Amino acid sequence: MKKYNFYAGPAILPQEVFKEASQAVLDFNGMGLSILEISHRSAEFQAVMDEAYELVRELLTLPDHYEPMFLQGGASGQFGMIPMNILGDNETAGYVNTGNWAEKAIKDAKLYGNVTLLADSSDKNYSYIPKEYSIPTDLKYLHITSNNTVRGTQYHSLPDTEVKLVADMSSDIFSRPLDIKKYGVIYAGAQKNMGPAGTTLLIVDKNFLNEPVRPLPNMMNYQNHISKKSSYNTPPAFAVYVSMLTLRWVKAQGGVKAMAKKNIEKSTLLYNEIDNNELFFGTTAKEDRSQMSVTFKLQDEELTNTFLEKCAEAGCVGIKGHRSVGGFRASIYNAMELEGVKTLVDVMKDLGSKKG
């Protein structure tokens, strides 16, 4: 039976990527060596890193003064590294709290400078993206989490400000075009929409970054990673390689514009079923619904096990909602086929026809 992977992360990747990566584990580019054992200083691996850099630049149309980096520590590692490198002791950063990941970013940022909470959607269980709030013009940066995997909300328009944005894009990077000039920093754990767990993509505007605002350990200093092209120490070579293959695949599909079109089609299909099937209801404000993380619940929770069993029988795995909120969550990242969403919708229709 074909399986459709709706897990939030580590998440679905294209089958073509799995096949090429598995071959490289046995024999990378005919070297007679595995990608897991070649030197990160070798010409062969440097070619991987160079291509990954260029694909990021091409797909996101990065100007020359924006620098990609492949680091370690996940997006969670950047919660502290960003203010550590950028936020001076007497400077203030604005944060918008839209859920779990934003909360953690706020907590770490407070260790390195002043943090002002500009907006907070906890009053309605993080079911919406705050919009009506003032943004001081003297902020060092404004931090947002572009997609909330746990609660199922996503920014569909950016805050109206000249203040540079710092954005956690772990779960929607490369899913749609970006207005890159609005961002000072973009960061994303690879394991949700770009590659396997183990590397984190960081994109910084070097004009915004400047020099570190405090003494830093060498591994925490962005300038060291920029100057060494993500090889200041041994990089997470396999994770970078698989991310590079995934970016190749995105390019072959037509780039981020093509991804956006497919993602809208998939999410629209699923949300239409949620809205029209009397057994289910969505958990987020309609205008803020995520195209990546679709959250919903049953009107009658006693049907939960029945629904999950039917999903499993149809090959739909990973539907159960985050442990902190319950219900259901369908992560429909770039590599999720329309066929997978149609299969899930068919399960929902079938349950509705029998129980409605």
In this structure, are strands 328-331 and 147-148 parallel, antiparallel, or unpaired?
Answer: unpaired
Catalytic residue among 164, 192, 262, 297: 192
In the residue annotation, 124 being an active-site residue is answered as: no
HEC secondary structure over 90-146: CCEEEEEECCHHHHHHHHHHCCCCEEEEEEECHHHCCCCCCCCCCCCCCCCCEEEEC
In the residue annotation, 101 being an active-site residue is answered as: yes
Distance CA 136, CA 29 (A): 52
In the residue annotation, 300 being an active-site residue is answered as: no
Cis amide bond preceding 236, omega within 30: no
Contact by Cβ (8 Å): 113, 88: yes
Diameter over CA atoms, the chain: 65
Catalytic residue among 140, 164, 168, 310: 168
Q: Taking Cα atoms as reference points, which of 259, 267, 347 lies closest to residue 14?
A: 259
Question: What number of other Cβ atoms are within 10 A of residue 60's Cβ?
Answer: 21
Q: Which residues are catalytic?
A: 101, 168, 192
